[in-house]
Amino acid sequence: MLKIKEIISEKIAEQILAINSAAEITASEISAMLEYPPDANMGDLALPCFKFSKMLRRAPVQIAQALADSVSDECIEKIENVNGYLNFRISDKYLGDKVVKNVLEAGERYGSHTFGEGKTVVLDYSSPNVAKPFHIGHLGTTVIGHSLKLLHEFVGYKCVGINYLGDWGTQFGKLIVAYKLWGDKQQIEEGGIDKLVELYVRINNAITAEENENPPKHDLANQAREEFHKMEIGDEENIALWKWFVEISLIEYQKTYKQLGIEFDSYKGESFYTDKMPAQVEKLRQSGLMKIDDGASIVDLEEYGMPPCLILKRDGSTLYPTRDIAAAVYRKETYKFDKAIYVTAAAQCLHFQQWFKVVDLMGYDWADELVHVPYGIVSLNGEKLATRTGNVILLKDLFAKAIEKVGSIIEEKSPNLENKQAVAESVGVGAIVFYYLYNNRMKDINFMLEDALSFDGNTGPYAQYTYARACSVLEKAGKYDDGKSAVITCEEESSLVKVLAKFPEKVLDAIKDYEPSVITRYIIDVATAFNRFYHNCKIMNAETEEIKNTRLMLTSAAKTVLGNAFGLICLKKEEKI
């Protein structure tokens, strides 16, 4: 309703100036004041007039009445003054003539904007730690991150998706020890990442067990540190093992990304920044920001209400923040970004606040272009996850389960469907993505698989099914004329178009708050309005040809909006389910 809001607020601004030519208010300020009334019976838009009271030296009720009497436009059916609120009803004629046409003409671009053109956004997301399991805790960063990328692309930004793999660190020391003790090359080649994770879990358990031995029999923890140290100084055998572990892990991740329709523009992981850190450490040292504290090098952030940011350990080795600083500098130089977005679990909030501040103190004037987007904790059927002990649900297993269950539902519902397997994959994976992205990202989520997979309720399968329903109506109808005006004759049609009119605004809201759930929830609004229309209005047997044509145009418009919105949250479009 952006366009409608714009028209209405311009008219209101004109009339306010007519009442008092010295009034200082712009149409865009008025537009921002327009609200959607909680109950559609009150109107489609409402303007509280209390703010104008001082400016116009009149009571809000009087102002609302004066505006109700003087404002008119083809898009307004009715204006009412209710206790200082102006309630607007949008005209069906306008909805049919302008809004539906606009959706159909814009097609795949409907809902998009162009304000990002010429600007670049770098998005750091998914970024699993190699050799550790890729579990449902990573679902958030992966699908929120990718949706934010799709959203930014939709408004014109050039986007660079970066998978900042956790491909360096002491976990590799552990894995090398485990591999040397218990590993089997062939088994790993055949079993892939699962075998690596088994080794990782086994070595962690062994290290934990040793913590209670005095003295520890094998001192595995120490051995792991040594193996990692060998990696750091370029030991050939260890480097070769490390490369192999990373390769095996990537093959596996890419299967999952493919199921989600995700591709990254860069896989430069933590290891890539090893030789880029010293320059930043040196800059920190020279600027006098870095202090020695108990042997370690830190940047004191007390003044900003935060604990110190650790730059170097006592033994001189670098840390997670050190690498992030070096990576940010490299990305700024390489991509000249206007914004860099990092999507991680909320547990990392402090880490990001700290090193963002350090970048700022270092004098990099782009520090305020760094954005951290956190999200809440995921549990599955009430159980929390722990990587080190192996008590995890792998993302690929969750997907496989969902695909299998959807597969059997499809077998029952539509046994003759072509590509049953591909559809089951799209709907199964889509169900998980949708369920996850339905909630406000900061909310902790308890994943209930049964709920996610249900075909009714606010789910992915329901949304995808609705899309397929619209496709099937259009397919059966064959030809119709979408160049004609849509002539709205009933409330269901009118409500549907009003929902469709909100899409461009929803895209803005989702980007402003880094919140894909705005789109996910909106999809349910569209699906609900469309299904209500579909059940209550005859399409093929409509009363007149004109009504039939209108209804087919509405079906096509709903399909367009659903499809465009799916494209923003990694949900695939299936024409038949």
Q: How far is the CB of 257 from ligand ARG (least distance, A)?
A: 16
Nearer to ligand ARG (CB atom), residue 45 or residue 277: 277
Q: HSE on the CB side for 30, CA within 13 Å?
A: 25
Q: What's the residue count for the chain?
A: 577
Please state the closest distance from residue 205 (CB atom) to ligand ARG, in A: 21
Give 560's strand partners: none
Strands 85-90 and 45-48: antiparallel
**CA–CA distance from 474 to each of 86, 339, 414, 555 (Å)?**
39, 41, 19, 7
Residue whose CB is nearest to ligand ARG in the complex, by number: 166
Closest approach of Cβ 208 to ligand ARG, in Å?
Answer: 21
- Using CA atoms, how far residue 154 sits from 117, 243, 416, in Å, is 10, 36, 36
Rounded to a whole number of angstroms, the minimum distance from the CB of residue 343 to ligand ARG is 8
* Closer to ligand ARG by Cβ: residue 127 or 147: 127
Least separation, in Å, of the C-beta of 144 and ligand ARG? 12
Our CB check for ligand ARG shows the closer of 253 and 342 to be: 342
Longest Cα separation, the chain: 89
Q: Which class for 37: exposed (0-12), middle (13-18), buried (19 or more C-beta within 10 A)?
A: middle
Residue closer to ligand ARG (CB basis): 62 or 120: 120
Work out how close the CB of 370 gets to ligand ARG at its nearest, in angstroms, rounded to a whole number: 10
Q: In terms of DSSP bridges, do strands 120-124 and 158-162 run parallel, antiparallel, or are they unpaired?
A: parallel
Q: How far is the CB of 445 from ligand ARG (least distance, A)?
A: 18
Q: Minimum distance between the CB of residue 132 and ligand ARG, rounded to whole angstroms? A: 8
Helices (H) and strands (E) in the chain, counts: 23, 12
* HEC letters along 347-366: HHHHHHHHHHHHHHHCCCCC
In the complex, the smallest distance separating the C-beta of residue 141 from ligand ARG, rounded to whole angstroms, is 7
Of 308, 311, 305, 387, the C-alpha closest to 345 is: 387
The backbone region for 264, taken as left when phi is positive above 0, alpha when psi lies in -120 to 50, beta otherwise, is beta
Q: Kindly give the pairing relationship between strand 76-82 and strand 120-124.
A: unpaired
Nearer to ligand ARG, 352 or 467 (CB): 352
Question: Are the C-beta atoms of residues 113 and 508 closer than 8 Å to each other?
Answer: yes
Spatial contact of 344 and 142, defined as CB atoms under 8 Å apart: no
The secondary structure element, H or E, covering residue 65 is helix 60-70
Nearer to ligand ARG, 164 or 503 (CB): 164
Q: 92 or 270: whose CB is closer to ligand ARG?
A: 270
Q: Which is nearer to ligand ARG, 4 or 326 (CB)?
A: 326
Between 125 and 179, whose beta carbon lies closer to ligand ARG? 125
- Which positions lie near ligand ARG, rule CB under 6 A? 124, 127-129, 164, 166, 324, 342, 344
| Shortest Cβ 233–ligand ARG spacing (Å) | 23
Cβ atoms of 224 and 170 closer than 8 Å: yes
Q: How far is CA 319 from CA 254, 284, 310, 344, in A?
A: 27, 14, 7, 17
Contact, 343 vs 363, CB < 8 A?
no
Our CB check for ligand ARG shows the closer of 129 and 297 to be 129
